[in-house]
Structure 1
Amino acid sequence: MRFGLFINGSNKPDVFGHLRERIARGADDGFSSVWMSQTFDLDALTALAVIGSQVPGIELGTAVVPTYPRHPAVLAQQALTVNAALDGRLALGVGLSHQIVIEGMYGLNFERPARHMREYLSVLLPLVRGENAAFEGETLTARLGLNVPGPKDMPVLVAALAPRMLKLAGEVADGTVLWMTGARTVTEHVAPAVTEAARAAGRPAPRIVCALPVCVTDDAEAARALAAERFEIYGQLPSYRAVLDKEGAEGPADVAIIGDEDEVSARIEELAKAGVTDFVASEFSRGTRTREFLKSLL
């Protein structure tokens, strides 16, 4: 199992310098990858192109770029350009986002999201693989090719929790990227579905990238309270609420990996046994104890 780090945008004055320092430190510490979220601050792909071109030798991923606001051909062109700037080190994670965002904020139709993702990937995947797109669906049309220089083997991962989405992630994409998903759900729900879909389609074994909050501490109660506060929104969004229910978790603090070194190690080992190929740590504690422990596992 590979180990990565999860980062968000920053409100610091020198935001790019701050993020560049975090990515460079992750590379120096020996982590395999750094993943950046796409919310309402920095555009993740643009930021990774700017920062990552200055930090060699580490995979950089998006977790995840919402599909609805960007035509798949536009996203393919942008992602290929970023991948060229990074010398082939981009992992493109895409996802639906949430109805409250897509309809409530963007004013776009969130109807039949699984259909949307299948049609989206029918355009995106050929283009990022150097092929022409010739597709006319119910919601998307594309008849074009792209001529972006650089590698054409960029992995595309789909944020997937529901059965139809997991099937897509294994059947046509390169795997899935998860957030707030515990070991029980990966074992019983995610890994079997995405792996079987890839096998049935004759595709390579999929990547299962699992990102979770991590805090190594002797004061687990205080850390869980902090996690409950900081990640509260994920217990309210329907897709994450569903996956927390599968895990038997009351809220995000219950899937956050919290405890001393032995407890955190055991929880991470559960994920490896569940089939996770890439564990991505979202460090939410102050101090160096969590990072030093994670480095010891590399």
Structure 2
Amino acid sequence: MRIGMAFGDVRGPSPLPGIAQQIQEAAAAGVPAAWLSDGVGWDALTALAAVGPRLAAGGIELGTGVVPFAQRHPLILARQALTTQAAVGGRLTLGIGAGISRMVGSMYGLPTDRPARRLREYLEVLRPLLRGEPVDHRGEYYTASSALALPADSGSTVAAPSVLVAALGPAMLAVAGELADGTITWMTGPRTLTNHVVPSITRASGGRAPRVVAGFAVCLTSAEDAVRERFAEQFALAGQVPEYRAMLDREGVAGPADVLLAGDERSLTNQLARLAGTGATDLMLAPVGTAAEQDLTTAFLATIGG
């Protein structure tokens, strides 16, 4: 199981140069994947395009975890993704999601009904565009008739990036298994990964081996109870979001603090070993807490590799 790290909004507001430095340090330490969240702060694809050229060729994977697609027409997202892919030397993994329905509806005034049907149609348009194929689509939710004009001899890498989908419910996992390369989860505990996420997307994949990137907040600490209490306060609203609440209920826990990875080195090692047995292929770990706690957690994660 590969152990990557998450950066961006999920760890709290940070200046873009600071995020770039964090990713550079992770790459230098041998971390195999850096995932940049996309919330209400920096645009993840633009930020990765800025960071990528500073990194050594090859090496660390750069992923979005995840870009909400509801407010981006698939033609626009395909252009953004391929531009970023060229800028980062072909190391992009495009993670997308329907977005938290309350935010999509209240911030953008966009519909949030039938997310799995919208996702299916979106992927049917997006994936050919990422492969450089023309589309002529007039569907229930999207109209797209165009092809992207990217120079084949530009010297930049514009191969189609792998596409992962933030999928939690059965219908979304079915679409992700059929039309994407895998899924990215967040605050979804080991029992739910083992009994729900991994088997559901594997069944839908038709014999392929889907990638399952399991995202968790993590904190190396000797004051575990205090850290969990603080995390419970900071992420209380997340526990009320229907999408996350459903997964917490499946796990049989009260709130986000119950799926936080926290403890000393021995405890964290045991918690990570349990996750390795879930069938997830990757971890996307976001150090949280004070700046000092995040630094200690980052240093520990760099030592265990992936």
Q: TM-score, normalised by structure 2?
A: 0.92
Is 1:158 the counterpart of 2:165? The answer is yes
Instruction: Give the distance between the partners of 2:286 and 2:136, measured in 1 at CA.
Output: 39
Instruction: Give the distance between the partners of 2:43 and 2:298, measured in 1 at CA.
Output: 26
Is 1:122 the counterpart of 2:115? The answer is no
Is 1:19 the counterpart of 2:19? The answer is yes
User: Gaps spanning 5+ residues in structure 2: where?
Assistant: 152-156
The alpha carbon displacement at 1:216 in A equals 1.6
Correspondence for 2:262: 258
Contact 2:90–2:158 (CA<8 Å) still a contact in 1?
Answer: yes
Q: How many residues align?
A: 293
Instruction: Give the distance between the partners of 1:281 and 1:148, measured in 2 at CA.
Output: 34
SS at match of 2:26: helix
Instruction: Give the distance between the partners of 1:94 and 1:278, measured in 2 at CA.
Output: 16
Instruction: Give the distance between the partners of 1:133 and 1:193, measured in 2 at CA.
Output: 30
Instruction: Give the distance between the partners of 1:187 and 1:261, measured in 2 at CA.
Output: 24
The alpha carbon displacement at 1:136 in A equals 2.1
Correspondence for 2:8: 8
Correspondence for 1:104: 106
Alignment CA distance shift 1:272-1:153 (3 Å): farther
Instruction: Give the distance between the partners of 1:210 and 1:132, measured in 2 at CA.
Output: 33
Residue deviations 1:20-41 (CA, integer Å, cap 9, x gap): 1100111011111111111111
The alpha carbon displacement at 1:283 in A equals 0.4
Correspondence for 1:184: 191
SS at match of 2:141: coil
Q: TM-score, normalised by structure 1?
A: 0.94
Please give the residue correspondences for 1:159-174 in structure 2 after superposition, counting only pairs within 5 Å: 159-174=166-181
Instruction: Give the distance between the partners of 2:13 and 2:239, measured in 1 at CA.
Output: 25
Correspondence for 2:154: none
User: Gaps spanning 5+ residues in structure 1: where?
Assistant: none
CA RMSD of aligned residues (A): 1.5
The alpha carbon displacement at 1:11 in A equals 4.8
Identity fraction in percent: 46
Residue deviations 1:52-75 (CA, integer Å, cap 9, x gap): 221233111111111111101110
Q: Which amino acid aligns with 2:22?
A: R
Contact 1:77–1:148 (CA<8 Å) still a contact in 2?
Answer: no
